[in-house]
Chains A and B, each alone.
Chain A
Amino acid sequence: NAGVTQTPKFQVLKTGQSMTLQCAQDMNHEYMSWYRQDPGMGLRLIHYSVGAGITDQGEVPNGYNVSRSTTEDFPLRLLSAAPSQTSVYFCASSTTGTAQPQHFGDGTRLSIL
């Protein structure tokens, strides 16, 4: 049981490049979400999903796209990377019957030059 797997662990991009951060879970969780963690700002919700085909915006959605075609996968897309998107990105999952994000991946450290 792998839990929540995020790939890649590290990535460096140039401004304007596109990229997809991958998140997969093997627990059949309906709820998945993406957060970014910045120093002094805690975690901020980017997008979330409560099931395949259902997504919604969080606190800081601009510059990011998501889709949920399967229960297992919830990729985060940066269409045109900007230096302000340099951050550590975390994916989390849980059942919708649980009140909170229960399982987190180990993060993707993204630098935009």
Chain B
Amino acid sequence: AQSVAQPEDQVNVAEGNPLTVKCTYSVSGNPYLFWYVQYPNRGLQFLLKYITGDNLVKGSYGFEAEFNKSQTSFHLKKPSALVSDSALYFCAVRYTSGTYKYIFGTGTRLKVLA
């Protein structure tokens, strides 16, 4: 069955330090993978995606993600965290190729400490 897992409910990091938010997936076929961010009382904002090509994907606000096929992971990273990065982050995977169904992870709350 298709699934996506975010093993950490919360990640705390000091401002200026690198951050990683973890995501693993299980899909049949080639995965389409996505990261979104949600600020309080707002809808989700798209950050980046992996469809094919380079395993390191760059996105909005200085975020990047690394696709690792052997580990079935798609971790979100940023070299230097900002307090304003504090938010809820969701990993998502397209259900199967050719569909418009998406499965979202349960979310990871990132807290960047000043």
Contact = CB atoms under 8 A, between A and B. Distances in A.
A33 to B, nearest CB: 7
Contacts of B107: 42
A43 B90 contact: yes
Given A43-B90, A100-B94, A90 B106 contact: no
B43 interface: yes
B14 interface: no
A50 B100 contact: yes
Contacts of A105: 43
Contacts of A107: 41-43
A2 interface: no
B49 A42 contact: no
Interface string B14-48: 00000000000000000010100000011111100
A24 interface: no
A100 B43 contact: no
A83 interface: no
B98 to A, nearest CB: 11
A101 B92 CA distance: 10
A94 to B, nearest CB: 9
A44 interface: yes
16 contacts: A33-B100, A42-B90, A42-B104, A42-B105, A42-B107, A45-B101, A56-B100, A59-B103, A99-B51, A100-B34, A100-B46, A101-B44, A105-B43, A107-B41, A107-B42, A107-B43
